[in-house]
Amino acid sequence: MSDTPAFLDSGRPDVPDLVVPRGVTPFYLPRRPVRGRLVRLGPLADALLTRHDNHAVLTALQGQALALAAALASALKFRGSFSLQAKGDGPVGMLLADCTHDGALRGYARAEPERLAETLAENPDPSAARLLGQGYLAFTVDQGPDMERQQGIVSITGDTLADMALHYFATSEQLQVWLRLACARTPAGWRAAALVLEKIAGSGGIDPDLDAAAQEESWRTATLLAATVTDAELLDDGLAADRLLFNLFHSEGVAADRPRALAYGCRCSRQRLSGILEGFDTDDLDHMAVDGDIVMTCEFCNFDFRFSRGDVGGRADKE
């Protein structure tokens, strides 16, 4: 990550300076073995997703990935970036979303246009499993070059992106998790959201009178209540997060914690890409140049950076 604050980096492209102050609302059910997070990207979803002119099916999948990355990152203690990456042999070969410790979000999806068109001709609303095919789902915490990356990888299993994430938690983390993801184009633009519940291990914060069977029943009740939420409710800007949580869990006495902000978080800059180009051999740079210019495109914000070949030295020029 760059040490230069975004607002001082003159080499950054013209992208939205957008922050959603209440993007993540953590909550818990007092004296019950349940905690959770409600993630709502609001207008940030539209700003991120409309950078690419993708088919709506692919955009919706990308939006779900962004909401999921924000939900999982906000549950961890780290400094750096958390990313989820799905890579398979389907028409959507790559799905990537990442979120920093301070809530900066970015992501992209890479598809093969012809294969995607064939898939949509067969089924206009294909599942995530059909889009991604066989492959793997990886979750990675990167805290910089001085610390070892932490990564968990599982095979792509399940029909939806939520199913795939739940498979990871069940097999790799042995956690009981309930998850709902939503993304759709609304009258206000694209919106994306996530609702996550986790069963708390141990006895901290749980009613001491609840034995194991009672705790399991409390967890089952919470997931049944959560399952009543609709995509329309999750994506409705006019329905406040606190009100939505109360509507779902008021019988269990839900309590919300301090909300966390989410922001437009592409970290590309002209300075950073120039440094990458300087690491190439001069012959490689000559082959990259078209009509005297080298163009590098940020896959996250879909912005083209143009460099004059004469301004880029390369390794051989420095020896």
Q: What is the DSSP string of 192-220?
A: EEEEEEEEPPSSTTB-TT--HHHHHHHHH
The model's confidence at residue 318, banded by pLDDT at 50, 70 and 90, is very low
Torsion sign, CA atoms 74, 182, 139, 248: positive
The model's confidence at residue 147, banded by pLDDT at 50, 70 and 90, is confident
| Residue 4 pLDDT | 45
One domain, residues 234 and 313: no
One domain, residues 308 and 237: no
**Where is pLDDT greater, at 308 or 122?**
122
User: Over 50: is that where the pLDDT of 9 sits?
Assistant: no
**Tens of pLDDT, residues 224-252:** 999 999 999 999 999 999 999 999 999 99
One domain, residues 154 and 303: no
One domain, residues 55 and 132: yes
Of 264, 286, 303, which closes a domain?
264
Structural domains in the chain (count):
2
User: Over 70: is that where the pLDDT of 148 sits?
Assistant: yes
Q: Is residue 121 part of a domain?
A: yes
| Short-list 182, 76, 192, 79, CA closest to 139 | 76
User: Over 70: is that where the pLDDT of 268 sits?
Assistant: no
Q: What is the CA radius of gyration of the chain?
A: 22
**Tens of pLDDT, residues 83-121:** 999 999 999 999 999 999 999 999 999 999 999 999 999
Of 239, 264, 289, which closes a domain?
264
CB 127 within 8 A of CB 160: yes
**Tens of pLDDT, residues 167-187:** 999 988 778 999 999 999 999
CB 105 within 8 A of CB 262: yes
**Tens of pLDDT, residues 40-85:** 999 999 999 998 899 999 999 999 999 999 999 999 888 899 999 9
| Residue 120 pLDDT | 97
**Where is pLDDT greater, at 174 or 267?**
174
User: Over 80: is that where the pLDDT of 21 sits?
Assistant: yes
One domain, residues 209 and 294: no
Across the chain, mean pLDDT equals 87
Q: Is residue 63 part of a domain?
A: yes
Q: Kind and range of the H or E element at 126?
A: none
Residue type, 91: P
One domain, residues 224 and 182: yes
Tell me the C-alpha distance between 168 and 163, whole Å. Answer: 9
One domain, residues 215 and 302: no
| Residue 208 pLDDT | 65
One domain, residues 59 and 90: yes
Q: Which domain holds residue 212?
A: 18-264
Tokens of 78: 């780290």
Tokens of 302: 């879909």
Tokens of 149: 């990356």
Tokens of 81: 């970036």
- Paired residues of 199 in beta bridges: 34
| Residue 309 pLDDT | 76
The pLDDT of 257-282, averaged and rounded, is: 80
Q: Is residue 3 part of a domain?
A: no
One domain, residues 252 and 281: no
Q: Is residue 2 part of a domain?
A: no
One domain, residues 24 and 124: yes
One domain, residues 182 and 225: yes
